[in-house]
Structure 1
Amino acid sequence: MTEGLANFAVEGLSKPCQTWYKVFGDLHSSAIPLIILHGGPGACHDYLLSLTDLTPSVPLVFYDQLGNGRSTHLREKAGDESFWTVELFKRELDNLLKHLGLEDRPIDVYGHSWGGMLAAEWAAAPTCSNLRRLVLSNSLASMDAWRTGVTALRKQLPADVQAVLDRAEQDGDFESPEYEAAVEIFYKRHLSLARPWPPTEVEDALAWFAKNPTTYGTMYGPSELYISGSLRNWTCVPVLKNIKAATLLINGTEDEAQDVAMWPFFKHIGKVRWITLDGAAHFSHVDQRARYISCLRDFLVE
């Protein structure tokens, strides 16, 4: 296990930036490494560490994306939608691969939630010719499709919980204890089914949002139930036909990434398979850890 910092020159910034990464396994072996893109934006790598169950047969590269975790924080860019773009994070990924000497070697890429959105856009670019396999986990191909799924789940909440959510959105008050309690009810149903609540992985992810909400607040919004950030109209559907790598889709039956959000991946990517895990929500890797890892391993090492 090694860790380090990759210098990352960001256009328009005078301060130097760095991307923190950690490698499990040997990147110099003949095994094809898996690059892991976390969700959020801003959730950081910690909540995905159960993927180390794939080692030692699969070398893993975790990293914290710019703006949070152990990478450079840029609080002064909070609210700047022109700065926090998908293109910025694609450039950061390319920079990290170059730093690690992986830009011309066969690699596999895994993206969870927002990480899947980023991975899909990156994989559709003509420059990623070294991509062998792609995993899009608990993710979405367009924000409109995501809204459709989440809205349907929201309507299944108790009436009093829906009323609290509606009132908060009308008033623009997303910090009241009542709103936080209502959101937690949704999270218990559709973020993770693990008990006791919250599982460590959920705590890890949400803790980074609390420590520095710059990227999540600017790109997504105040919670999973209210999309107000720069990704509000995002879609990658037009470019999905450009993905040539064999692709695995994973979601859970109780996932906030409902089938409607994943369907365009299945429809438009040429070489694709789709697995939906029973008894699992958005953190399927937590809720059904052994089955999830087995699915990943079968796909990556076959």
Structure 2
Amino acid sequence: MSSLLQPVTTGRIPFRTYETWYAIYGHLITPSKQPPLVVLHGGPGAGHDYLQSLGELNAIAEIPVVMYDQVGCGRSTHLRHAPLGTITIKLFLDELNNLLDALGLKEYDLLGQSWGGMLACEHAVRQPPGLRRLILEGTPASMRLAEQVRLSCYNDFPTPLRDALFLFDKDGVHTPEYQEARLRFRKTNGCRVDPLPAEMLATWDNMRSDSTVPTIMMGTSYIRTAGVLRDWSIIGRLPLIKCKVLVAHGQYDWCGVEAAEPFKRETWDAKVMTFEGAAHFLHLDQKYAFFQSVVEFLTE
């Protein structure tokens, strides 16, 4: 990691019987008084590593950036032995509120990537007084819509690869074609940077090392969501979000296109952008174009 991306501060915050690890890029109080941007990673259970480049926003526009590993992954307390029913949306909402309180953030912006955007939506519809602006990167309006877009992505796969995905989903049969299909999906509809950035590889290693949270929240299928989030939707609740919102997704994003369409329809203060040539990770696929849009949105 370059010196530009070294956090100024790292630490741990007590949360129930757990600890939340966090990093701050820049200083929370800046000459420009720009509110800190709190970044929520995806997965669930991915950790913050793949989002580290967002720390550059501090150097670009003096925006303090706060990142953290949600409990269950990374440097925070893992949940392999958590009691049944512990790992829920409410757990991560409570953790976010605990982080904001512990850091004394009275005014802040949020950027949520993928699942992090879903969590950010759940936070925003509760109309917290300190939330100023909201950025959703690669975030679906519902898991049902995300599943539909994901299935449409497979239409371009060779038949043996597509069949291997459905075979694994049905019978758990793990074949070389299944591995190839997963890799193709990640390169086409996930991160299109070639070779894959080290921070992306680190994130996938992180999820493989402890699959507790992703398995409980999402399940193990590449076809459908079977976990806690299987029926999740923010549709119908979007008007409850009272701050300005930037919704950004990629042309090939498995959480974009139709999965993001409701963000355009609901009557709220949202700007929706599609980044051509990008997939699910805009901050990697179209880094500087995305950064420019984020800075303009936060500082206008």
1:248-288 deviation line (CA, Å, top 9, x unaligned): 01100011112111112222251110111111011111111
Q: CA RMSD in A?
A: 1.5
Structure 1 residues 211, 135: closer, same or farther in 2, change over 3 A?
same
| Residues 200-237 of structure 1, C-alpha deviations (whole Å, 9 max, x = no match) | 23212211111100101111122544422111111121
Partner residue, 1:108 = 109
Cα displacement (A) at 1:90: 0.5
> What is the distance in 1 between the residues matched to 2:156 and 2:224?
16
Q: Deviations over 1:58-85 (max 9, x none)?
A: 000000001110000110138x4x2211
Secondary structure at 1:62 match in 2: strand
Which letter does structure 2 place at the counterpart of 1:115? G
- Count of residues paired in the alignment: 289
Determine which of 254, 268, 271 is the counterpart of 1:270.
268
The SS at the match of 1:194 is coil
Task: Give the equivalent residue in structure 1 for 2:5.
Answer: none
- % identity of equivalent residues: 38
Secondary structure, aligned partner of 2:274 = strand
Alignment check: 8 A CA contact 1:201 1:286 kept = no
| TM-fit CA distance, 1:238 | 2.6
Q: Which amino acid aligns with 2:197?
A: P
**Partner of 1:234 in structure 2?**
232
What is the aligned partner in structure 2 of residue 72 from structure 1? Answer: 77
Partner of residue 154, structure 2: 154
**What residue in structure 2 maps to residue 13 of structure 1?**
none
**What aligned pairs does 1:6-45 form with structure 2 within 5 A after superposition?**
6-9=13-16, 16-29=17-30, 30-45=33-48
Q: Which residue of 2 aligns with 1:59?
A: 64
Question: TM-score, normalised to structure 1's length?
Answer: 0.92
Query: What's the TM-score, normalizing by structure 2?
Result: 0.92
Q: Corresponding residue for 1:260?
A: 258
> What amino acid sits opposite 1:73 in the alignment?
H
Which structure 1 residue ranges, 5 or more long, are not aligned?
A: 10-15
SS in 2 for 1:238: coil
Query: Secondary structure of 1:75's partner?
Result: coil
**1:189 correspondence with 2:188:** yes
| Residue 2 (structure 1) aligned to one of 5, 9, 13 | 9
The equivalences for 1:83-162 within 5 A come to 83-102=86-105, 105-126=106-127, 128-162=128-162
Shift in Å at residue 180 of structure 1? Answer: 2.1
Write the distance in 2 (CA, Å) between the matches of 1:223 and 1:166: 9
C-alpha change, 1:225 and 1:53, in structure 2 (3 Å) is: farther
| 1:247 alignment partner in structure 2 | 245
What is the rounded CA distance, in whole Å, between the counterparts of 1:177 and 1:7 in structure 2?
43
**Cα separation, 2, equivalents of 1:282 and 1:206:** 14
SS of 2:39's equivalent in the other structure is: strand
Q: Map 1:188-227; keep pairs closer than 5 Å.
A: 188-196=187-195, 198-222=196-220, 224-227=222-225
Question: Unmatched 5+ residue regions in structure 2?
Answer: 1-7
Aligned AA for 1:133? R
Between 34-43 and 261-270, report the one with greater CA deviation.
261-270
- Could you say if the C-alpha distance between residues 156 and 77 of structure 1 is closer, same or farther in structure 2, counting changes exceeding 3 Å? farther
Find the counterpart in structure 2 of residue 170 from structure 1. Answer: 170
The code of the aligned residue for 1:237 comes to I
